[in-house]
Each structure stands twice: as structure tokens, then as C-alpha cells.
């Protein structure tokens, strides 16, 4: 699979097991946490919720293993 330059990053802290999906301008990342499976959504372009150099992005929203949603 071709890869481009790194645009931004985030330390998900989800134990390294999970997956990512890019859709409609968002990156959805999921992984196992202490409470179950978490899902987090990030701005694909690295503009919203991102700062620093190199860019580090906070999730725009997230769910925990109990499927409660928090807005970033």
C-alpha cells in the first residue's frame, strides 16, 4: 500500500491492538482498553484538535467500552 508523509499523530493508549478507518474527512481508530473497545474520531486533515510541531491531535469525539460518547 502506498504511503504519504506523516500529517499528524496521536498516542491512542489502546494497547496497540485495534484498527483505523478513514471516511468522510475523519480517521476512526478503535482499540481495546480497560473498559472494553474504544472508538475515537480525528480530523483527517489534522486541523481541528491539533497543535504543536510535529502535529499531535486530540480526538474530536470518543466512545468508551460502555458506548457512552464524549465530545472532544
- Write out the three cell numbers for 4: 504519504
Query: Does the residue 72 lie in any domain?
Result: no
Query: Does the residue 36 lie in any domain?
Result: yes
Please count the structural domains in the chain: 1
**What is the span of the domain harbouring residue 3?**
1-65
What average pLDDT score do residues 28-56 get? 84
- C-alpha distances in angstroms, 28 versus 13, 22, 38, 41? 14, 6, 10, 5
Query: Does the residue 70 lie in any domain?
Result: no
What average pLDDT score do residues 3-10 get? 71
The neighbouring-strand residues paired with 37 are 32
Structure confidence by residue, pLDDT tens digits, 10-22: 666 655 557 788 9
In the prediction, which pLDDT does 48 show?
A: 92
Amino acid at each position: 500500500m502506498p504511503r504519504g508523509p506523516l500529517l499528524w499523530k496521536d498516542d491512542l493508549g489502546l494497547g496497540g491492538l485495534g484498527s483505523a478507518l478513514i471516511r468522510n474527512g475523519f480517521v476512526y481508530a478503535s482499540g481495546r482498553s480497560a473498559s472494553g473497545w474504544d472508538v475515537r474520531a480525528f480530523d483527517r486533515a489534522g486541523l481541528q484538535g491539533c497543535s504543536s510541531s510535529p502535529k499531535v491531535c486530540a480526538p474530536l469525539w470518543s466512545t468508551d467500552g460502555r458506548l457512552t460518547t464524549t465530545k472532544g
